[in-house]
Structure 1
Amino acid sequence: MIKSKFTLLSLILISLFYNCAANKIPHTPLAKDIKAIAEKVANWQIETFEDMGKYRALPPLEKRKKWHHRNRYHDLDWTTATLYTGMYEFSKISDDKKYTKWLLDIGNRNDWKLFKRVYHADDHAVGQFYLNLYKDSKNETMIHPTQNRFDSIINSEKGQKFLWHWSDALFMSPPVWARLANITKNSKYLEFMDRQYHKTYNKLWDKEAQLFFRDKSYFDKTEKNGKHIFWSRGNGWVFGGLALIIPELPQNWEGKSFYIHLFKNIANTLKHIQREDGTWSGGLLGDEKDYPNIETSGTSFFIYGIAWGISNGILDKTSYEPVLFKAWERLSKCVNKEGMLGYVQPVGAAPGDSYKDYTEVYGSGAFLAASSEMYKYLIKYYPNKNK
């Protein structure tokens, strides 16, 4: 009888040990460590910016042939625009002015113009860092091309149609419209953004899953487990975009609650589908076995949004901090000793492969935004540990 009780007690203790290990509470990171790894990523990305092609040539040739490759994307492309957004966020927590200078050089050599497609959301994305730098300097040169482009869209017949018909667009264009409205205090930019945003929401938001389809072609596509396909980075674009839009909205504007409610709904979904390793699968509702590699671009956007949401009183700290720290703990291990962020899914429009030694500039941008917001979060909530 004694032996039997001892065996039973041993089994209970062993079970408790493994349950605690599996569900361990992640440690609280230090702000200085986050700043250091972000600086490493920022420096590496600036140093390799002109020759990014070689960092897209590592996976097997048969897979490479399926991918969209260029040696370096255009200065004004959406990929680089995402990097600039993250670099700007990092410049605000760094004491080194070289990051701001690098962004100024990009803007000056392109005359502060948006990219070539007038109505395409992707070609508006560089306006994010233009308007941010304008707010810092009040240099009118930085804002005029964007304002002129947006005025032409508002005054055109095509501008009244459904323009943002894919989820990524909600990161690329709406934050620029919202920021321009805030800067100019002209409500026409906010009204345009709000109309177009609701058109996309009405078309692509899935009320049951509380996530966005990437575009209408995914309405009937499913994962191997039978659940709908919801692309991680696609929803990352939306979630990160909301964290950029909401601060620009007028405090008493009646439409603001829609964006806050949407942000909270996505966050709640993310909390419940986080992987054991702390990240999110490339297909958010797919089984982990079907996504054996982690994917860092979507995860970075989710970290950015959650940290911002808690810091701004939109998300509950007690509920979301464990999600945040668990995600950061894994993401931070995806930066190599040189400063390259790995496991970034290549350009695409659906869940796909990711590799340890493969990166993209938009991945670095998302990581820099995430780490910058994490840094501010820790300074705010754990000041004694981060003096």
Structure 2
Amino acid sequence: MKKIIYLLLILVIIPSGIVLNAQENETGRIPQYEIPYEYPSAEGIKAVLNRMKTYYESTSPQTIIDEKTGEEITDFSKFNPNAVPSRGFSSEWSYTHGVVLSAFSYIEDVTGDKTFFSDNVKFYDYVLKYLPYFKKNKDKIEKVKIGNWGRILNFHALDDCGSITAAMIKTYLKTKNDDYLELINQTADHISNNQFRLEDGTLARNRPQYKSVWADDMYMSVPFLTNMGVLTGDNKYFDDAVKQVLQMAKRLYIPEKELFDHGWNVTSGDYDPRFYWGRANGWVLMSMAELLSALPENYQGRSEILHLYRSMVRSLANLQGGDGFWHNLLDKNDTYTETSCTAMFTFAIAKGINEGWISHVYGPVALIGWNAIQTRVLQNGAVDGTCEGTTFAHDNSYYYHRGKSIYATHGYGPTLYAGAEMIRLLQNDSIEVKKARINSRNSTFHYLLKSEWPKKN
């Protein structure tokens, strides 16, 4: 009797266990995404961009202050040797601020919202208002550096002028304020005639090694040269921009990786150590996007640049993490995931699709990139997780341990650009998106080119 009862109990328990295990297995079959695998909205993206704009504006009153006391200077009849622009991102004459201002102009182009571009006018008017005060007293300024305006009176490097003045050209093309032209022409003269170059004309630096080429310098020069070509109609600027991309690529592009080494120097030559830093590759892609947008279709060198663009995108799609981010060293997954390069790649891939430079099948790569980036935009609009300014180094430990914070301003402009381009991608009428189903075991995003499919009756 006891045996019969025992057998009956087993028969009752086993099916319930099977059902329980089946339920557990069913739950485990639903993908658990680290970052929501969802389709963004233009309204949601715009809200992120608005938060960023509000925060960025709030960082500085755009005044002139006494550097020692922090007090605003209002009497400009005599020179104060401690006079500097007020602290804050939005008052800097810097290459990172140049990216932000270029992005603000682009957001106006994409959305029609003029409040972003108004920050450009406000900033350049601020510079033009107070720059004569410093020019007049140039001999009294130590090392001719003016706080966060750096070497605005005497450019030494591409960082001093290329990106910030490229944004100035974009602003000039909309405002036609001729007061901008002096600084624009000063930058053109420096980059074309005074900046150090290798014997073949490649823009270079004598730091940290003798005759060094940095991938970063593609962005510090090519967007300015491109926009100078647009402004003047003189092809010499386009020619120089094309030359910089192709000749830097000759030294830095690694075909088997389809990526750019961070830097190269003449001493190491063909045996230079290679480090595939994320943001350096981002600067390269953003530079090529700027140039490809402006060059006529059959311009000499354009097809070679387009090949570089496409090959980099192919490699980057493979290197993107499952959370949508890219790593600080692209080929080393144990380095941290980094915001600025993720934003740069997201922008460049979405831009490539929108312009028809790359296949629409890369749409999900941009989508999950944006989903990742927006998690780094804090509630107050600050952008977190961006690698601090980085030199051209020669060891992994340095790149692995770079700091990251909201104060590394390199992440702001690219994130603004990425948001604007994603809005364009969402509104791209040539593409149909089959969206992933929530809580589905097997569902993804498919970007389809409408023109490839038979018309529906």
Q: What TM-score bracket applies, with the shorter chain setting the length?
A: 0.7 to 0.9
1:163 and 2:203 equivalent? yes
Residue identity in the other structure for 1:92: D
Task: Tell me how far apart the structure 2 counterparts of residues 286 and 195 of structure 1 sit (CA, whole Å).
Answer: 31
Task: Tell me how far apart the structure 2 counterparts of residues 149 and 249 of structure 1 sit (CA, whole Å).
Answer: 21
Which string of whole-angstrom CA distances, capped at 9 and with x for unpartnered residues, describes residues 87-129 of structure 1? 2223334555333222112212323999456462222111221
Name the residue aligned to 2:374: 332
1:136 and 2:174 equivalent? yes
Which string of whole-angstrom CA distances, capped at 9 and with x for unpartnered residues, describes residues 62-103 of structure 1? xxxxxxxx9646722222222222222233345553332221
Name the residue aligned to 1:224: none
1:40 and 2:51 equivalent? yes
Is the 2:165–2:183 contact (alpha carbons within 8 Å) kept by the matching residues of 1? no
Is the 2:241–2:291 contact (alpha carbons within 8 Å) kept by the matching residues of 1? no
1:229 Cα offset (Å): 2.6
Partner SS state of residue 216, structure 1: strand
Task: Tell me how far apart the structure 2 counterparts of residues 174 and 370 of structure 1 sit (CA, whole Å).
Answer: 19
Return 5+ residue gaps in structure 2 as ranges.
1-13, 63-85, 132-150, 205-212, 392-398, 435-457
1:78 and 2:95 equivalent? yes
1:307 Cα offset (Å): 0.8
1:333 Cα offset (Å): 1.1
Name the residue aligned to 2:185: 147
1:122 and 2:159 equivalent? yes
Q: Aligned ranges for residues 240-259 of structure 1 at < 5 Å?
A: 240-259=286-305
Q: Aligned ranges for residues 294-373 of structure 1 at < 5 Å?
A: 294-317=337-360, 319-349=361-391, 350=399, 352-353=401-402, 355=404, 358-373=406-421
Is the 2:34–2:323 contact (alpha carbons within 8 Å) kept by the matching residues of 1? no
Is the 2:108–2:114 contact (alpha carbons within 8 Å) kept by the matching residues of 1? yes
Task: Tell me how far apart the structure 2 counterparts of residues 314 and 98 of structure 1 sit (CA, whole Å).
Answer: 30
Task: Tell me how far apart the structure 1 counterparts of residues 195 and 327 of structure 2 sit (CA, whole Å).
Answer: 40
Partner SS state of residue 331, structure 1: helix
1:276 Cα offset (Å): 1.2
1:31 and 2:15 equivalent? no
Which string of whole-angstrom CA distances, capped at 9 and with x for unpartnered residues, describes residues 143-180 of structure 1? 44323442465456956643241011111210110121
1:263 and 2:263 equivalent? no
Task: Tell me how far apart the structure 1 counterparts of residues 215 and 99 of structure 2 sit (CA, whole Å).
Answer: 15
1:99 and 2:142 equivalent? no
Name the residue aligned to 1:55: none
Task: Tell me how far apart the structure 2 counterparts of residues 81 and 152 of structure 1 sit (CA, whole Å).
Answer: 17
Task: Tell me how far apart the structure 1 counterparts of residues 156 and 301 of structure 2 sit (CA, whole Å).
Answer: 24
Partner SS state of residue 267, structure 1: helix
1:199 and 2:247 equivalent? yes
Name the residue aligned to 1:378: 426
Compared with structure 1, are the counterparts of its residues 49 and 243 closer, same or farther at alpha carbon in structure 2 (3 Å cutoff)? Answer: farther
Name the residue aligned to 1:275: 321
Which string of whole-angstrom CA distances, capped at 9 and with x for unpartnered residues, describes residues 264-287 of structure 1? 111011101111111000010002
Is the 1:83–1:361 contact (alpha carbons within 8 Å) kept by the matching residues of 2? no
1:214 and 2:262 equivalent? yes
Is the 1:182–1:250 contact (alpha carbons within 8 Å) kept by the matching residues of 2? no
Give the CA RMSD over aligned residues. 3.5
Residue identity in the other structure for 2:388: P
Compared with structure 1, are the counterparts of its residues 358 and 182 closer, same or farther at alpha carbon in structure 2 (3 Å cutoff)? Answer: closer
Is the 2:35–2:371 contact (alpha carbons within 8 Å) kept by the matching residues of 1? no
- Structure of larger gyration radius: 2
| Aligned residues between the structures | 352
Compared with structure 1, are the counterparts of its residues 359 and 24 closer, same or farther at alpha carbon in structure 2 (3 Å cutoff)? Answer: closer
Task: Tell me how far apart the structure 1 counterparts of residues 379 and 369 of structure 2 sit (CA, whole Å).
Answer: 20
Task: Tell me how far apart the structure 1 counterparts of residues 432 and 174 of structure 2 sit (CA, whole Å).
Answer: 26
Task: Tell me how far apart the structure 2 counterparts of residues 359 and 156 of structure 1 sit (CA, whole Å).
Answer: 32
Partner SS state of residue 173, structure 1: helix
Is the 1:229–1:283 contact (alpha carbons within 8 Å) kept by the matching residues of 2? yes
Compared with structure 1, are the counterparts of its residues 72 and 139 closer, same or farther at alpha carbon in structure 2 (3 Å cutoff)? Answer: closer
1:172 and 2:220 equivalent? yes
1:384 Cα offset (Å): 11
Residue identity in the other structure for 1:35: K
Residue identity in the other structure for 1:261: H
Task: Tell me how far apart the structure 2 counterparts of residues 25 and 44 of structure 1 sit (CA, whole Å).
Answer: 25
Name the residue aligned to 1:238: 284
Task: Tell me how far apart the structure 2 counterparts of residues 189 and 269 of structure 1 sit (CA, whole Å).
Answer: 30
TM-score (structure 1 length as normaliser): 0.79
Residue identity in the other structure for 1:374: M
Task: Tell me how far apart the structure 1 counterparts of residues 295 and 182 of structure 2 sit (CA, whole Å).
Answer: 21
1:203 Cα offset (Å): 1.2
More helix by share: 1
Is the 1:134–1:142 contact (alpha carbons within 8 Å) kept by the matching residues of 2? yes
